[in-house]
Amino acid sequence: MFGLNKQDTTLLIIVAILALFAPFILNPFPEGSALAQFNAGYPDLMQRFVIFGIFAIGFNILFGLTGYLSFGHAAFLGVGSYAAIWMMKLLTMNVIPAIIISVIVAGLISFLVGWISLRRSGIYFSILTLAFAMMMYQLAYSDLFGQLFGGVLTGGETGLQPKVSDPRILDAALAEGATPKAHLFGLEMGASHKMNVGAWSFTFNAGYYIAAFAMLAAFYMSIRIFRSPFGMMLRSVKSNQHRLNYTGLNPKPYTLAAFVISGMYAGLAGGLLVAMDTQVGAERMFWTASGEVVIMTILGGAGTLIGPVLGSGLLKYMENILSKINKSVLESWFSFMPDGMSDFFIAITNLFVGKQWHITTGVIFMLVIIFVPGGLVELGKRIGARLSRKKEPNNTDGSAKPEPAE
Amino acid sequence: MGILEVKGVNKRFGGLQALGDVNLSVKENSVHAIIGPNGAGKSTLLNCLVGKLIPDTGSVMFNGQSVLGRKPYEINQMGISRVFQTPEIFGDLTVRENMMIPIFAKRDGAFRMHAIKDMMREREIVDAADHMLEEMNMADKYGMHAASMSRGDKRRLEIGMCLAQEPRLLLLDEPTAGMARADTNNTIDLLKQISDQRDITIAIIEHDMHVVFSLANRITVLAQGTPLVEDDPENIKGNPKVREAYLGETA
């Protein structure tokens, strides 16, 4: 179906079903129960799952296929966000032009950065991309270009939001005091439908489904790229650039194309972030954000189809759910224990939750790298192989059943 | 006029004169061996032919065109394929994919954005790759990871990948180095078969005299960066200058 082989079609359908029913799947615990804080089925977090999924899918096209490790991809995400917000300020609050322009602008900038950075490979390439990203972050944070031309480009520390007074030439003027809201032909991104089934409560959010649709399209495109001659050339760049050169192929345009494509994916993610939450600040371009997408991709499985989606889901889940578990929550958990014992357990557990959630991430990341370097996908494959020993090992990427981490 | 004409090539690395006034003419459809003791400049010469090094002076003409200043992939597109001392293949890819890449390169040139069509639907490329694998006696290995094959099979695959591009000139850099006797003889047979059946010129750098005298119909002896003699194999065997270069002082 859709020009994919059977295995890939199955994978795409599974991801589509997971995305469609995410509001149910991510809300397994009844409202008000002690476990309700592990529910991830609220719009804001679901949007983040799919948007950062797009970011990681795109990053994987560069890193997973060619092996070029970019440490500056958050810059393209930020560029996409700024481009989108300017569309909302100047043209319309409809998200379509914002998203399109965010992809285009991120593509142009990544072409420029890639053109220069790809003169080197290995660690030097990584350092060059990191340097570019930090320069772009600094330019955004200080709004140097805006100051230079006596206006505003990035809004500096305060960032940018659409205001009532913005020109917005396609939209009717808003009343004084109203807030401009992002919409798709009138359907507001924030619009939600709540469904209550017994003690459970499920939220269906318009913005989430639009972002999920974009993620599915992005995922489909990445499958096509993986299976194409172009994708094979990218893998051959990673495998043996020397041989590629002596086989009459020029690696540079291939790597540059992969760099620009992954930059455009990052731009799409940036544009969608603005569509869901109409504001942008420079902090999303900081180098830690670039590092995050590297971790997502490796955690899920670099070079596999579904890996980046799983990795970003896991990381965003931990960031949002673990960080909310504070001391008082822990106290209620361990209250059944005798005093001294509960204090001990609270102290130990507290190291890994709340503001310290990064420690948990770090531990999980280390365990994955040491024991399953292929990430969650390899873990899934190993479990699958153990469960059915007869099954032949599969060579193709992404063939493992995805775990419902998303 | 040979298909490959090297004229007055000099290459100096600091104080070392690696190549001094090298002249070489490789005739079309011949098997031309370049031999010489360690440090004679054989590899430097080869690197000058494929664009990895640029000579300080002199000219290298292939098929009437200069190769100097061109990138390795451009020289390859002109019709020169190179086999390396240690087999250089795409280890992470399957054997069939390895074979498909040179065929894509031949059809589509140095770069083509070909990102939508499923590569297995490129029937003609897949068929050509399978055909070539059959010719190399590797038809049973097409799904294997190339890195997991034996050294001899990797060498076969590499030679097959070069042939798949239908080059005019095949350069081999010590193709049997580090091989067992049986593998060496297999490689000799394979190369003989290639030069008999195909419209191809082979230039080979080799240490192993058994390989050289089994294959070559023309031999150039390099010593200290300069061609000592160029002659037919029979005459080379008895040449006292060659003996001296290999054994040092005449015994």
Structure tokens at A183: 């919409």
Residue A105 included in any domain: yes
CB atoms within 10 A of CB A316: 23
User: pLDDT band at A404, cuts 50/70/90?
Assistant: very low
Contacts of B114 in chain A (CB under 8 A): 228-230
Contact A247 B101 (CB under 8 A): yes
Average pLDDT (A216-239) is: 96
Structure tokens at A384: 């699958």
Residue A201 included in any domain: yes
Among A17-21, A149-153, A273-277, the range scoring the smallest mean pLDDT is A149-153
Contact B120 A254 (CB under 8 A): no
Residue A387 included in any domain: no
User: CA A62, CA A293: separation in Å to the nearest integer?
Assistant: 12
Residue B175 included in any domain: yes
Average pLDDT (A50-64) is: 97
Per-residue pLDDT for A23 more than 70? yes
Question: Residue B247 has what pLDDT?
Answer: 64
Average pLDDT (B35-63) is: 90
Return the percentage of chain A with pLDDT > 70, whole number: 96
Cα-based distances in Å from A371 to A398, B39, B160, B226, B231: 19, 46, 38, 55, 60
CATH number at residue B68: 3.40.50.300
Contact A232 B93 (CB under 8 A): yes
Contact A245 B91 (CB under 8 A): no
Question: Residue A32 has what pLDDT?
Answer: 81
Contacts of A238 in chain B (CB under 8 A): 92
Per-residue pLDDT for B178 more than 60? yes
Among A14-23, A26-35, B16-25, B59-68, the range scoring the smallest mean pLDDT is A26-35
Question: Residue A306 has what pLDDT?
Answer: 95
Average pLDDT (A371-392) is: 86
Average pLDDT (A127-155) is: 92
Contact A246 B81 (CB under 8 A): yes
The radius of gyration computed from the CA coordinates of chain A, to the nearest angstrom, equals 22
Is the Cβ–Cβ distance between A89 and A161 less than 8 Å?
no
Among B39-43, B102-106, B195-199, the range scoring the smallest mean pLDDT is B39-43
Question: Residue A395 has what pLDDT?
Answer: 46
Nearest CA in chain A to B84: A243
Quote the mean pLDDT of chain B: 90
Residue B227 included in any domain: yes
Contact B118 A240 (CB under 8 A): no
In angstroms, the separation between the Cα of residue A134 and the nearest Cα of chain B is 31
Contact A246 B94 (CB under 8 A): no
In angstroms, the separation between the Cα of residue A395 and the nearest Cα of chain B is 9
Nearest CA in chain A to B74: A248
User: CA A276, CA A91: separation in Å to the nearest integer?
Assistant: 17
A96 vs A346: which has the higher pLDDT? A96
The number of folded domains in chain B is: 1
Closest CA to A216 of A13, A377, A403, A6: A13
User: CA B59, CA B65: separation in Å to the nearest integer?
Assistant: 10
Residue B135 included in any domain: no
In angstroms, the separation between the Cα of residue B51 and the nearest Cα of chain A is 10
Per-residue pLDDT for A399 more than 70? no
Average pLDDT (A336-361) is: 86
Give me the residue from A227, A231, A245 closest to B72, CB to CB.
Answer: A245
Question: Residue B107 has what pLDDT?
Answer: 93
- Has the ipTM of the complex gone over 0.95? no
Average pLDDT (A257-266) is: 98
Dump pLDDT digits (tens) for A320-348.
Answer: 988 888 888 888 888 888 888 888 888 88
Residue B152 included in any domain: no
Helix (H, G, I), strand (E, B) or coil at A23: helix
Q: Which of B46, B52, B88 to mutate to test the interface with A (most CBs of A within 10 A)?
A: B88
Residue B161 included in any domain: no
Question: Residue B218 has what pLDDT?
Answer: 92
Helix (H, G, I), strand (E, B) or coil at B65: strand
Contact A240 B88 (CB under 8 A): yes
Contact B76 A247 (CB under 8 A): yes
Contacts of A227 in chain B (CB under 8 A): 118-120
Contact A245 B110 (CB under 8 A): no
Residue B209 included in any domain: yes
Per-residue pLDDT for A304 more than 80? yes
Contact B89 A243 (CB under 8 A): yes
Per-residue pLDDT for B177 more than 50? yes
The number of folded domains in chain A is: 1
Per-residue pLDDT for B106 more than 90? yes
Give me the residue from B77, B84, B92 closest to A235, CB to CB.
Answer: B92
Contacts of B99 in chain A (CB under 8 A): none
User: pLDDT band at A148, cuts 50/70/90?
Assistant: confident
Question: Residue A119 has what pLDDT?
Answer: 94
Average pLDDT (A211-237) is: 96
Q: How far is CA A295 from the centre of its chain?
A: 11
Compute φ and ψ for B112, nearest 5 degrees: -145, 130
Residue A210 included in any domain: yes
Q: Which of B49, B82, B111 to mutate to test the interface with A (most CBs of A within 10 A)?
A: B111
Closest CA to A190 of A164, A211, A171, A169: A211
Residue B213 included in any domain: yes
Residue B177 included in any domain: yes
Contacts of B71 in chain A (CB under 8 A): 245, 250
User: CA A89, CA A10: separation in Å to the nearest integer?
Assistant: 41
Contacts of A395 in chain B (CB under 8 A): 94, 143, 145
Residue A136 included in any domain: yes
Cα-based distances in Å from B182 to B20, B155, B174, B179, B185: 37, 13, 16, 8, 5
Which residues 220-239 on chain A approach chain B with CB closer than 8 angstroms?
224-225, 227-233, 235-236, 238-239
Contact B102 A247 (CB under 8 A): yes
User: pLDDT band at A303, cuts 50/70/90?
Assistant: very high
B181 touches chain A (CB under 8 A): no
Question: Residue A178 has what pLDDT?
Answer: 84
Question: Residue B233 has what pLDDT?
Answer: 87
H or E element at residue B33: strand B31-35
User: CA A171, CA A88: separation in Å to the nearest integer?
Assistant: 10
- Boundaries of domain holding B187: 4-79+167-247
Residue A202 included in any domain: yes
Contacts of B88 in chain A (CB under 8 A): 240, 242-243, 246
Dump pLDDT digits (tens) for B42-51.
Answer: 889 999 999 8
Question: Residue A1 has what pLDDT?
Answer: 66
In angstroms, the separation between the Cα of residue B56 and the nearest Cα of chain A is 22
Residue A377 included in any domain: no
- Boundaries of domain holding A214: 6-304
Would you say how long chain A is, in residues? 406
Question: Residue B164 has what pLDDT?
Answer: 95
CATH number at residue A111: 1.10.3470
- The DSSP code sequence of A349-396 is HHTTSGGGHHHHHHHHHHHHHHH-TTHHHHHHHHHHHHH-TTSPPP-S
Q: Which of B49, B80, B118 to mutate to test the interface with A (most CBs of A within 10 A)?
A: B118
